[in-house]
Chains A and B, each alone.
Chain A
Amino acid sequence: MKKEALSLFGHGDLILFSFLLFFVTFIGVLIWAFRKNQVKFYNQMASMHLEKVKEPNHHE
């Protein structure tokens, strides 16, 4: 049973299936990433690494 299923699975269908899978994921991510009303959040995230740290003063 598994053997037959696997022997059918393959070739063009597999490629098409994989590509569609990617396509759906990609569109999903796009929609998610470009949701409106997220601008402030993204700006904040884009400069997350920039926050000033306290001046180091202690030595090891």
Chain B
Amino acid sequence: MKNDSLKSYYDDVIVRYFIYATLTWGVIAFIVGLWAALQLAFWKFNFDLEWLTFGRMRPLHTNAAIFAFGGNAIFAGIYHSTQRLCKTRMYSDFLSKIHFWGWQAIIVGAAITLPLGLSQSKEYAELEWPLDIGIALIWVIFAYNFFATLLRRKEKHIYVAIWFYIATIITVAVLHIVNSIEIPVSLFKSYPVYAGIQDAMVQWWYGHNAVAFFLTTPFLGLMYYYIPKAANRPVYSYRLSIVHFWALIFIYIWAGPHHLLNTSLPDWAQNLGMIFSVMLWAPSWGGMINGLLTLRGSWHLLRTEPVIKFLVTAVTFYGMSTFEGPLLSIKSVSALGHYTDWIIAHVHGGTLGWNGFLTFGMIYYLIPKLFDTKLYSKKLATVHFWVGLFGILTYYLSMWAAGITQGLMWQAIDASGKLVYPEFIDTVTRIVPLYMVRALGGSLYIVGALIMVYNLFKTIKGSAHGAIKVPVAAPFEHRETGEKETIHRKLEGMAVTFSVLSFIAIAVGSAIEIIPTLSMHEYIRTEAEIRPYSPLELAGRDIYIREGCYTCHSQMIRKLPFDVLRFGKASTIEESMYDRPFQWGSKRTGPDLSRVGKRYPHLWHFRHMLNPRDVIEGSIMPNYPWLYTKNTEFHSLRRKLSVMSQLGVPYHEKEVAEADRLAEMEAMVIANELKEQGARGEHLEQKEIVALIAYLQALGQLKK
């Protein structure tokens, strides 16, 4: 009996939970981002604490922003709109709760492990294997609950928003699982089964499509629900939305290689990525136009309704980002923009403008509805809007200017064929003032968000009856035609067919790009040309990964004259074929390191890592004092080498069996050289800094 009556109401408790989580994690994610940004403007901002350095904060920021803020926001919207579009309560309240608490537990896990340096160093997939398994489990529970709700829906037809949710759920599962195939070494350390170029390809297929299927498709679903709802208008063109949907998901999945333009990735893959990225412009704008034109006849709302202000601006930012994205995917533009802050500008236009503002608009719409009241203050919401918008523009313009300035400086070659700015640091100090401006922009955005939290708090406090229960509405069909409950099998069939078709649409592109890449090692001569890392170098490499050096350093010299002039011969596929995970990087706040080996004596690195400003005036690289006190984990090396050799790295059996002893011997040699050169310190050979130096000196030196 009790259950029956429950079923006649929507489950909005879960919606409110997800909204509160969105707000909480949102503010945290933004503050962590600001903190990371401040470290680039003022290097001292990490207080020499390892947990707070840029390399560990940056993954925390991106994961929190995408999965904690973005994730909870889309779940709130999906749970709210799906029930209303299906005219039924969620299939299981229990599963909804597991989804909610499970997801928050994963976020807490991330917030603990990432500052500790437990990271796979694959962007937006940094979490180690136990958390990866957790994510997969919770996602499956969410999917089960969602599809079961869909199958018992009372509405015959599936509204376009739900198609976008379906594509999201299926594709994120595929992306996460394929990209996370790794072999554990210990409880919090694993090596991916992919190496070098294969890892790069899979990772950016994942990375790009995390943007596509975590930050785009679900938000488009929300757009198709909340914009018409808030404006009380029908969707501008339902036909366009069909074309939008299929074209978008079909094309998006191919675009990953645009993150690897001009690298050693074979041309066919680069060109595919470029062509499909440029094509992506069309469906993206189709969707934007459809969203905006839905407001035709209601434009006056833009002046009076903060909700509409946020939603419309969000869609406008979507249009801007999806114009800029294809532009940046053109090889020659990428040559300028890649590795610079232009990309950071681009990303934040998308996240702060599109995802952030859409979320804010949705929440401003939802909270008064869920509490059957009016927003406490429209004025404050409007203030939030303007402060936030000004923050985004400040952020965007400063990073855009920083990126293009630095990109042009890297490219500048004089008449005699020499680099105009041969000292990398000169291209850094030039843009540091812009890092300060960026931090200001971020601060404004946070102020706006805090105003919202206050406004919502007051709204909830002031509601006359608290949270309300909304009865499930009668389905459309029944009222139109008077039909009874229709043939269920057929409905189920539709949802399943639809899901299968979506899966095929994303699987085709994935397969065509990834399968040839995965068989590439069969045609190259890695073993003949390159030696694997020695045990000590491997230990150093894992320190490099732990510290998140990839967040500031690339290890990929592109096939571009100015890259080659600055850093040496273009990187080859073979050179990173033993790299698990690959460390090609995506941002050069510091110089490329793929050929840094043997460029400087050990002592240079020894001093540089302790305080970079000791050797390079004006450097913004953090100090790494803890590397001088912590001991290298020699004992885990046997296990590490054995996993590597299982994965096909050609280590001798003897090497694996004696890995720790070999590493200690190597360390002794380097420590002695350091002492000869004048370094001081007790038991240097045991310290992590020595392992890291061994690794840095091996970079670009592995050719047989």
Contact = CB atoms under 8 A, between A and B. Distances in A.
24 contacts: A6-B515, A6-B519, A11-B268, A17-B512, A18-B254, A18-B276, A22-B250, A22-B251, A26-B246, A26-B250, A32-B242, A45-B157, A45-B159, A45-B160, A47-B235, A48-B159, A48-B476, A49-B81, A49-B85, A50-B229, A51-B479, A53-B84, A56-B468, A58-B469
Contact of B268 (A15, A21, A29, A34): A15
Interface residues of B, number: 57
Interface secondary structure of B, over-half rule: helix
B113 to A, nearest CB: 37
Contacts of B466: 59-60
A12 B508 CA distance: 17
Contact of A49 (B84, B465, B523): B84
Contact of A29 (B159, B243, B266): B243
A54 B234 contact: no
Interface of B: 9, 13, 81, 84-85, 155, 157, 159-161, 225, 228-229, 232-239, 242-243, 246-247, 250-251, 254, 266-268, 271-272, 275-276, 279, 372, 465-471, 473, 476, 479-480, 505, 508-509, 512, 515-516, 519, 522-523
A9 B512 CA distance: 10
A26 B63 CA distance: 34
A29 B372 CA distance: 41
A19 B272 CA distance: 9
Nearest to A10: B268
Contacts of A22: 250-251, 276, 279
B234 A43 contact: yes
A10 B234 contact: no
Contacts of B267: 11
A47 to B, nearest CB: 4
A46 interface: yes
A33 interface: yes
A40 to B, nearest CB: 10
Given A10-B266, A29-B242, A59-B469, A47 B271 contact: no
Contacts of A46: 228, 234-238
B558 to A, nearest CB: 20
Q: Nearest 6 pairs between A and B by C-beta?
A: A47-B234, A46-B234, A33-B242, A46-B238, A42-B238, A53-B473
A56 B85 contact: no
A34 to B, nearest CB: 6
Question: Secondary structure of the A side of the interface?
Answer: helix
B469 A56 contact: yes
Given A44-B476, A45-B238, 16 more contacts: A2-B519, A9-B516, A10-B268, A14-B512, A22-B251, A46-B237, A48-B476, A49-B229, A50-B233, A50-B234, A51-B473, A52-B473, A58-B468, A58-B471, A60-B466, A60-B469
Contacts of B508: 21
A49 B159 contact: yes
A3 B520 CA distance: 9
Contacts of A14: 268, 272, 512, 516
Contacts of B522: 3, 6
A39 B615 CA distance: 72
A48 B157 contact: yes
A45 B470 CA distance: 23
B228 to A, nearest CB: 6
